[in-house]
Structure 1
Amino acid sequence: MRLIVVEAAAEVLGNLPADEIPVPLRQIARFRPQSRAKQGAVPIAGQLETNAAFRDKVARPLRDGQPELCAALEAGEVPAAADPVRLAALAYLLRPRGWTEHVETARAELERVAGAAQEAETARTVAALRDQLAEARTARSEELERMRSELKEARTEIADLRRRLHDEKRTAKAARERAENVEKRHNTDRAETLTALGAADKELKGLRAKLGQAEAALESNRKAAREGRKLEDIRLRLLLDTLVEAAQGVRSELNLPAVILRPADLAGGVDPSAAPAAGRSLSENDPQLFNQVLALPHVHLIVDGYNVTKTGYGELPLADQRNRLISGLGGLAAQTHAEITCVFDGASLDGHIAVQAPRGVRVLFSRPGQIADDLIGELLKVEPPGRAVVVVSSDQEVAASARRAGGRPATASLLLKRLGRF
């Protein structure tokens, strides 16, 4: 009832002129209708209780909307079908004679309805609890049956585990016994090993002593060998000096010229008069051995010219390639005093080429129809047996030909590295 009265007052409050609104409710009158009923319920109820003029203004729309009910309420004749709550709200606002009875009747009706509703709810709750109890009993029976089944399975599993535990204990006991036996054998083997190690150490000490004696004897032998070689070197040097002095005496007696022709001067090459051909690939040799060979007396170094230049600086024009190689060979001749012959392929040359060969360097071109490899072969053939001859070429055929003739082959890259030191 109180809610109905407050909602009706909140609705009327928004339609009243500002001067007719009670002062405590003027602020609430600015709210929306829903907010007025919620937030202003207490002050609105207070004004309805104490302000009769405001109460009449609130009752006026209800009187206009339900004139017959209001008239019957004021005449004391209430329709039997009227809602007691709404009737109590009208009685509270209109305040006819005996209005409190209507309010009390509405309150009793509400209590009765609430009690009936509570009893119905209680009955529903009791029924639901009974259903839940029945379900719980059924579930408990099922759970009890399941637990009995699980207990039976657990007892079976425990019996199986006990049997397995007994087997494991027996197996563990046997394993401990085997371990003890193994440990005993290990201790026995360890003692035997230590004994063998002691004997081996003793034998090793004896071997080391023998090794020291052998090293001392070896060093003594080496010293004796060095002294023997020194004696042989002295004898060989004395013999060599004797031969040199004898050769000088023969040259002086026969009045031989100081400079004679070399075998390579008689080879069938031609003067520089043609253009060069392309060279081939190279391979590495021992540089120390190369230097040792160049230091031999009267060594003859034969160079496959274009094979070397194409390997080292093939990007240069042919004339620059020749000049660069010949210049480097001149420095090598001055340093080693070796006889050097540089052979170029002249088979395709059709004009005269001026070449300034430095001192100690002979420059040859192959004849028309002949390749440089053939000219190198002729140079090897005219050399006397036993003379030191080195052929520089990365051509495998040229190297093989040099070996067959008793010469020493060397790669083009080896000569280029040697020339790069100048």
Structure 2
Amino acid sequence: MVESTGGEAGDGGAAELLDRPLPEGVRRRVVAIVSDGFGGLTVSELPAQLRQYARFTPTRRAKFAGNAMAAALESDTLFRQRIGERLREAQPELAGALDSGTPPPAADPLDVAAAAYVLRPAGWVKLVAAAGEEAQRADAERVDEETRAELDRLREQLAEAQAHTRAETERLRTELDTARREAESAHRKLRAALSDVKRGEAAARKARAETDAVRAEGQAQVSAAESESRRLKARLGEVEAALEASRRAAREGRSVEDMRVRLLLDTVLDAAQGLRRELALPPVSMRPADSVDAVEPGRMTPKDIAARALHEHDPAILDQLLALPQAHLVVDGYNVTKTGYPTMPLEKQRLRLLGSLSQLAAQTGAEVTCVFDGAELAAPVLLAPPRGVRVLFSKAGVTADELIRQLVRAEPPGRPVIVVSTDREVADGVAKAGARPVPSVMLLKRLSHA
């Protein structure tokens, strides 16, 4: 706050002015003096801007109207004089001392400066400046004391921290040495353990290799033994079957060879009769010119003959084979059903196939035998064979393929035997024995047209 107008004149008649803002401590005391002086003034004696604070308490007035009161005190000389009169009434000793130019030494410099600012005696600017300097000096001393105290406290904390750091450093160094020794010991143990692990792994690999070799050798021996066992079982089955057939033939009073010869003779006779009926040769009417090789109008050319050839899966081939005298149709049952209708249960597969074969036997008059694999059956199959179809299941340890080969070998050479199977091994085996193999697809097509 700077004095710009008004005030009491000095000895030289010039107005005294502050060259710096009013110190904060002095300003607070001035506001308190003005707030206390409000009570002795009427509303009309107050400046217009302060009348709204007339009913406030001194404390509340100092809080909310401090700036307004300070401004009015600075700008309104009459208002300042009225406040000065109230101050003289409240503190006559201090006012008298200021008027005489000898402020009491024991008085608070801030109170002296505030009173001088309000009363404006001669030299009041110096009193205010001195109070400000004193307040600043006191603040500086207080700050200096606080700074020294804080510095001492920080030094103590630093000393404690340094001592703690040294102790902690020593402790950590000791722990580090201990940890280093433990780490070295652990490294030695780890290296020893790694060596043991490597030796163990090498031994395990060696043992694994030896075990694999022994296992492979054992598996090879087991496979060889199983193969030999299957061969011996098959041979034993053949011997048993031959023995049973011999016994049956002996009981019936005729031998198997007689039966085969008679069957072959019937086959030849039926074939001759069929050939005679089929050829129906007219009387010989050949002429020498007929022996000359030439193409006559209306005769078939080689291309026409090739066009008449049937596809390898054409069911007409099967009809031609079944039309042969004394033909015997042997069917690999499950091979056919799993080719034609694999999603059905086995029982329904068998019933469907046997029903179709019964119709085929009735249509062609051929002997029909259907073979099923019974090696894995837990119990005998309860099945009534359909009319005209012989149903056979292989015995335990004997496959259906082997039973089919036995049936083919049991037939006399020359009898037409047709084996239906897609199994290449079965087809090759029966072909070597003189039978005619046909694929399962051909039979399925023929049965679908029945």
| Interval of TM-score (by shorter of Structure 1 and Structure 2) | 0.3 to 0.5
* TM-score normalised per structure 1: 0.45
* TM-score normalised per structure 2: 0.42
